[in-house]
């Protein structure tokens, strides 16, 4: 049997551009369907070549509206694009209202665009647990560019940097003074700063503050973030925004940083997967395995502390079958 013949039909369909198959497998990824493992494995070698552009920033700054214009720009350039847009799940009901699609204006028959809304399903950091894998599916499906819109981010929601090759941090006028730009977290992950709603008063000051920030010196990778201004109500600046993104993508190649960054992202992904699996397995065993229950008993009765229990588990056979 050839390798191609062993490929799961859903993986083959995704490679062949079947959008229904893509939509269904995305749901399976979100729902942690065990069938996904074989599909992901078959598709993985086909991935890695596509720029994954993260669009992040606080709620209401215009991320969805910008994505609508970026997609229009990419279609002008005859490039196909997959979009995954994340909105929060309710910590109370688990439900969500995914509203990023309302900004999206594309002809219903344009096969060069695929838009998928996604709920964060309890994940912190600005994206869902499934977002990375869904972006990768879109990569495998052959889109020229993948855009990932995060939930409205706070200062520490930086998980997008573990998914995107270029991160665009979108801000608006009057979010705060220049000291805000010095603070750690969100401002550190920007490859491109975008001051949106540039038609509003205060936009020049916001841009100046950011220009001063980036003027303080390049980041660890040697890249100095670019600053652009955009407006989506009186559309302007989107071409410059996309040019800035492409400039960063070219820098990744010319500097050798792409490989370094990809290695970092994939290492983080492996660590995360192991942590999740070991954690899940251990939770079950601490509950069911009599020997391990004994360790917990000792902690409950204050004979040993939780740290010592963890060390015993690590030294012992807890992780071996």
Residues that bind another protein (CB under 8 A): 19-20, 23-24, 26-28, 30-33, 35, 89-90, 92-99, 101-102, 108-109, 114-117, 119, 121
Q: How far is the CB of 116 from another protein (least distance, A)?
A: 6
Q: Kindly tell me which of 34 and 306 has the beta carbon lying closer to another protein.
A: 34
Residue spans of alpha helices (H) in 183-316: 203-215, 238-255, 257-288, 290-300, 306-315
- Alpha-carbon distance of 312 to 314, in angstroms, equals 5
Rounded to the nearest angstrom, the gap between the alpha carbon of residue 7 and the centroid of all alpha carbons in its chain is 27
Smaller CB distance to another protein: residue 74 or 228?
Answer: 74
Distance, first Cα to last Cα, the chain: 34
53 and 148 Cβ atoms separated by less than 8 Å: yes
**In contact, 187 and 206? CB cutoff 8 Å:** no
Non-local (6+) Cβ contacts of 21 within 8 A are: 10, 13, 14
If the CB atoms of residues 117 and 247 are measured against another protein, the closer one turns out to be 117
Give the three-state DSSP class for 45: helix
Closest contact distance (angstroms) between CB of 27 and another protein is 4
Q: How far is the CB of 112 from another protein (least distance, A)?
A: 13
CA distance 71 to 60: 19
| CA triple 24-83-56, angle to 5 deg | 130
Question: Please, what is the minimum distance in Å from the beta carbon of residue 96 to another protein?
Answer: 5
Q: Which of 106, 265 has the CB closer to another protein?
A: 106
Q: How far is the CB of 104 from another protein (least distance, A)?
A: 9
Short-list 259, 80, 36, 52, CA closest to 148? 52
How far is 53 from 170, CA to CA, in rounded Å?
13
At its nearest, how many Å lie between another protein and the CB of residue 36? 10
CB of 65 to another protein, least distance (A): 13
The two structure tokens encoding residue 144:
């020229």
CB of 150 to another protein, least distance (A): 17
Closest CA to 174 of 197, 206, 214: 206
Of the pair 25, 53, the CB lying nearest another protein is at 25
How many other CB atoms sit within 10 Å of the CB of residue 12?
Answer: 16
Q: CB 81 → another protein: shortest distance, Å?
A: 13
- Residues 6 or more apart whose Cβ sits within 8 Å of residue 11: 38, 39, 42, 43, 140
């Amino acid at each position: 049997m050839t390798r191609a013949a062993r490929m799961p039909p859903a993986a083959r369909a995704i490679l062949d551009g079947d959008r229904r198959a893509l939509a269904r497998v995305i749901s399976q990824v979100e729902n942690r369907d065990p069938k996904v493992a074989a599909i992901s494995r078959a598709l993985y070698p086909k991935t890695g070549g596509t720029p994954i552009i993260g669009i992040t920033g606080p709620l209401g700054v215009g991320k969805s509206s910008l994505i609508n214009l970026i997609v229009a720009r990419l279609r002008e350039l005859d490039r196909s694009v997959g979009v995954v847009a994340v909105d929060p799940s309710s910590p109370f009901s688990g439900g969500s209202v995914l509203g990023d699609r309302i900004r999206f204006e594309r002809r219903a028959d344009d096969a060069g665009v695929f838009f998928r809304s996604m709920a964060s399903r309890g994940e912190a950091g600005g994206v869902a647990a499934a977002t990375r894998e869904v972006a990768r599916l879109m990569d495998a499906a052959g889109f020229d560019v993948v855009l990932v819109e995060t939930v409205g981010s706070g200062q520490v929601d930086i998980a997008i940097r573990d998914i995107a090759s270029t991160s665009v941090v979108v801000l608006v006028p009057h979010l705060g003074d220049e000291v805000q730009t010095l603070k750690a977290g969100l401002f550190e992950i920007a490859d491109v700063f975008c001051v949106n709603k540039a038609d509003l008063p205060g936009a020049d000051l916001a841009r100046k503050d950011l220009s001063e920030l980036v003027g303080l010196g390049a980041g660890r990778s040697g890249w100095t973030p670019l600053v652009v201004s955009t407006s989506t109500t009186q559309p302007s600046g989107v071409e410059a925004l996309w040019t800035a993104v492409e400039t960063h993508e070219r820098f990744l190649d010319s500097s050798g940083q792409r490989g370094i960054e990809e290695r970092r992202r994939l290492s983080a992904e492996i660590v995360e997967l192991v942590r999740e699996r070991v954690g899940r397995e251990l939770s079950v065993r601490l509950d069911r395995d009599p020997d391990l229950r004994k360790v917990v008993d000792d902690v409950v009765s204050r004979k040993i502390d939780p740290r010592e229990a963890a060390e015993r588990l690590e030294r012992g056979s807890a992780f071996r079958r």
